[in-house]
């Protein structure tokens, strides 16, 4: 669980840290859309280079990026195997019994791997360079036009911020419970399938109890401070859009346009 980086804010002074949270959230959404365009290896190389530059500008270490990717390796491996076995398009590369591998399946599998890596790194950059409070303010500002139709923008922004904030806390709680269970003789990596399922159940139940207890404590703390989501609120910190934000946003727009163009040309 120590390998999980998602949701953790890194207090570092960097160019990306100083950018407006509205820009970072909007840029992430645009890049998440752009990454699913079939722009070929040239397009993904361009987008990957941009993501690497952003990682360097945020001063995030390579080891921290690997920590963010490592927990997703199982899901990535499952998706890759699923695509290799079930996509039957293009030329047949080789066949072993009922298993048949096609060249289009290999190509799509490589694309999925690249997309997932880019998505994980971009999301890690957002959470590692943006404070939870700034993230809440940014989401609320971006959703503010929906207030005219009665959409609860502040409540949604608060829920998203709290969820992201408690991801590291719940992971630490999971590690604590695993150590407590291991001290009582529970083995999570050994034994039969039934024993592994029972050991996971012994982990999930106390984790859910702890999560609900933390949620209740947080609700009581907010209520004791007279928190009212429907009240008109003032803020000490105001978000200011700077020239660096405009230039960065134009760079993101240029990358997205290039991905769209390459998806039609290549």
pLDDT tens string 134-147: 888 888 888 888 88
User: What's the chain's average pLDDT?
Assistant: 82
Task: Give the per-residue pLDDT at 156.
Answer: 82
Task: Please indicate, yes or no, whether residues 34 and 87 belong to a single structural domain of this protein.
Answer: yes
Looking at the structure of the chain, the number of domains it has is 2
Same structural domain for residues 6 and 52? Answer: yes
Q: Are 88 and 189 within one domain?
A: no
Please determine, for residue 208, whether its predicted confidence score (pLDDT) is greater than 70: yes
More confident residue, 30 or 194: 30
Q: Could you tell me if residue 234 is inside a domain? A: no
Note whether 168 and 266 are same-domain residues: no
Give CA separation, 108 vs 38, 117, 135, in Å.
Answer: 10, 14, 34
**Residue 146 placed within a domain:** no
Same domain, 210 and 169: yes
Averaged pLDDT, 122-128: 89
At residue 7 the predicted structure's pLDDT band, cuts being 50, 70 and 90, is: low
**85 and 14 belong to one structural domain:** yes
Pair 8, 97 in one domain? yes
Q: What's the pTM?
A: 0.75
Q: What is the pLDDT of residue 1?
A: 47
Whole-angstrom CA distances from 250 to 134, 161, 163, 187, 246 are 22, 27, 30, 52, 6
Do 222 and 161 reside in the same domain of the chain?
Answer: yes
More confident residue, 246 or 82: 246
Structural domain for 216, as ranges: 153-228
Same domain, 119 and 245: yes
Query: Quick one: pLDDT at residue 24?
Result: 94
Top-ranked range on mean pLDDT: pick from 41-45, 177-181, 252-256: 252-256
- Give the Cβ contact number of residue 96 at 10 Å: 7
């Amino acid at each position: 669980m120590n390998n999980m980086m998602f949701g953790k804010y890194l207090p570092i002074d960097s160019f990306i840290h100083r950018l407006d949270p509205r820009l970072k959230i909007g840029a992430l959404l645009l890049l998440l859309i752009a990454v699913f365009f079939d722009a070929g290896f040239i397009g993904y190389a361009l987008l990957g280079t941009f993501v690497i530059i952003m990682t360097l500008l945020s001063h995030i270490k390579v080891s921290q990026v690997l920590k963010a990717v490592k927990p997703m390796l199982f899901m990535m491996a499952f998706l890759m195997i699923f695509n290799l076995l079930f996509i039957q398009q293009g030329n047949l590369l080789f066949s072993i019994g009922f298993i048949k591998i096609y060249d289009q399946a290999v190509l799509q599998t490589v694309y999925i791997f690249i997309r997932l890596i880019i998505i994980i790194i971009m999301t890690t950059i957002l959470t590692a360079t943006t404070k939870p409070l700034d993230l809440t303010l940014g989401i609320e500002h971006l959703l503010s036009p929906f207030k005219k139709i009665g959409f609860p923008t502040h409540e949604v922004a608060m829920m998203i911020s709290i969820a992201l904030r408690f991801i590291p806390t719940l992971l630490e709680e999971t590690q604590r419970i695993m150590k407590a269970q291991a001290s009582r003789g529970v083995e999570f990596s050994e034994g039969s399938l039934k024993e592994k399922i029972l050991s996971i159940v012994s982990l999930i139940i106390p984790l859910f109890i702890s999560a609900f207890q933390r949620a209740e404590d947080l609700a009581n703390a907010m209520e004791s401070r007279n928190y009212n989501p429907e009240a008109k609120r003032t803020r000490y910190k105001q978000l200011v859009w700077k020239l660096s934000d405009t230039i960065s946003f134009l760079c993101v727009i240029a990358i997205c346009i290039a991905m769209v163009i390459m998806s039609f040309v290549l």
